[in-house]
Amino acid sequence: MNRQASSPQSASTKEFHGDLLSTYGREPLLPSEREYKTWSAHGSSFAYAIATWCFLTGGITAEYVGAVQGMVCLIAGNLIGTFLVSASLSQGCQRYGVEQIDFCKPAFGQNGARIVLIFYLFNMLGWSGLILVMFGNGIANIVQALGYQSAHWQVGLGVALGIWLTYVVTTRGVHLLAMFNSIITVALIFIIIFMFYMLLNAHGWDEILAAKPLDPLPVPWMNYAVALELGIASGMSWWGGIGFLARNTKSRRNAIYPEVLQLGLSFGVVCSIALFSGLVIGSNDPTEWMVPLGGVFMGVLALVFVGLANITSTSVSLFASGLALRHLPGLHTTGWKLIIALTCVPLMFFVFWPHELYDMGDAFLAYNGTMHAPVGGILMVDYFFLRKQRLHLRSIFEADPGGQYYYTKGFNILALSGIAIGQVTYFLVYDPFTDEASALFQFLPASIAAFLLPALVYWIGMKFWVQGGRHSRPLNEVALPGKLVVPNL
Amino acid sequence: MLEHEDVKDLVLDLEQRIDMMQNMGDAELGRFNGLDWVILILISIVIPVIVVVAAQ
């Protein structure tokens, strides 16, 4: 083992329980170990983006606005939201090969990042559960399309099948995940074009353009504002998967362009198709309208691929969650299969109570929206403006109070307060639970306000308080020679 | 449970990776320049904001 670790070449061979601790763990990932080149980076981002959540988002947008305004809100909003949260994460995780929660340590502190971790796991596993219920619903609809009686328990069984498929894909590693995603991507593109064609063929562009929103709010300007907020918040909700995708890319361009183009643009385009179907058919769920429009064979084929798309998205989420679990004591070197099995445990609730948990999805999504924006704003200021894209990598893995990112007992109170400030700001501008909004919401989306204010407070505080006080070293200080005192493995 | 030797090896491996990544030049991780930022900001912020305002 000592011999293995003695040369740079051997760094990639370090393994426990047969798993490389770089690929399946938190160690900085060397460029030679990364899987994603241009095509696979685009393919994985696309396969991650396209799942039933597109149809959910598009369907909700159809309640507020028509086709043109909805398309603008979904595509433009997604692009804005995705870029704002991915700029710092993609560049930082790719440059230093670090896992997403480790990237949060310079801003939030060694222990503060663990608070972000709790939110992160809650977000990733919650989303995975919701998607798996949609996968289960799809299976029930396939059963119905084939002429059999669908039953309540089939959804739960579908969730269980989805968990098993995800487990199989995720435990086979990033290479298989990338290959699987690349194949699914091609099929999905054809299916989506086919769906759009069927929709246009059945209803025509004029009918889509003329369709009225399904359930608009009484205050006219609110509808456009809420739809735009939905678009931006959806874009920001990619925060959870961005670090994983970027860390596995070989080049800096592949770390960010695929995320903006696939998670931002492609997602917005597919959401728009769901918006159109919501407007003219009254259902955003393609598993309900594909069979009547496309016929049994094409309809079922489409349903199968939409279902598989949910599996690819969940696989990326679980892989990233598994890496994040490595932060917990005792799980640093645990076998990868056991780690992924642990991420599947909370998902089992969705097997037994799929509909009950799915019904709580709106509140879950709304709460998530209030968290991504402030974290994204703080990370952007921290990485680009305070540290000038230079991190002290050793301090990320240093649990000793002498590390640069230790702050106060391991917590950067300023950054953590920023999250609370962002959440309060969000609710003051727009309350997603009650649809009440301040006048400011007409001009400034709540996510943007919750992004900008914590970012500004954090920048001022770090410049004049933290940096001027105990942490008086330059924030973009480069590496100093030395050894880890208390390694945070 | 990890043996003491295993922990030592892990730390050694980690330190080696830290040194490699920290001392690696930006160019070794692929090119990315001002033009990339201009393109990204244009397609992700400037054009979307203009379209959003125009469609309001």
Which residues of chain A make contact with B56, given a CB cutoff of 8 A? 224
pLDDT single digits (tens) A71-110:
999 999 999 999 999 999 999 999 999 999 999 999 999 9
Instruction: Determine whether the interchain pair A1/B14 forms a contact, defined as Cβ–Cβ distance below 8 Å.
Output: no
Q: How far is A297 from chain B (nearest CA, A)?
A: 39
Which residues of chain A make contact with B7, given a CB cutoff of 8 A? 489
The verdict on B36 touching A (C-beta cutoff 8 Å) is: yes
Instruction: Determine whether the interchain pair B2/A479 forms a contact, defined as Cβ–Cβ distance below 8 Å.
Output: no
Mean pLDDT of the A11-18 span:
54
Which residues of chain B make contact with A251, given a CB cutoff of 8 A? 29-31
pLDDT single digits (tens) A266-317:
999 999 998 998 899 877 666 677 777 777 887 788 878 888 888 888 998 9
pLDDT single digits (tens) A197-235:
888 988 999 999 999 999 999 999 999 999 999 999 999
Closest CA to A19 of A310, A374, A246, A322: A322
The verdict on B56 touching A (C-beta cutoff 8 Å) is: yes
**Topology of A32-353 in CATH?**
Hydantoin permease (1.10.4160)
Confidence of residue A117 (pLDDT cuts 50, 70, 90): very high
Which residues of chain A make contact with B3, given a CB cutoff of 8 A? none
Which residues of chain A make contact with B15, given a CB cutoff of 8 A? 394, 483-484
Instruction: Determine whether the interchain pair A5/B13 forms a contact, defined as Cβ–Cβ distance below 8 Å.
Output: yes
The verdict on B32 touching A (C-beta cutoff 8 Å) is: yes
Which residues of chain B make contact with A484, given a CB cutoff of 8 A? 11, 14-15
Residue A278 contacts residue A285 (beta carbons within 8 Å): no
Kindly report the average pLDDT of chain A as a whole number.
87
A28, A68, A256 ranked by CB distance to B21: nearest: A28
Mean pLDDT of the A53-76 span:
92
Count of A-B CB contacts under 8 Å? 127
| Lowest mean per-residue pLDDT among A25-29, A180-184, A286-290, A471-475 | A471-475
Q: Domain boundaries in chain A?
A: 32-353
User: Is the pLDDT assigned to residue A51 strictly greater than 70?
Assistant: yes
Give the ipTM.
0.93
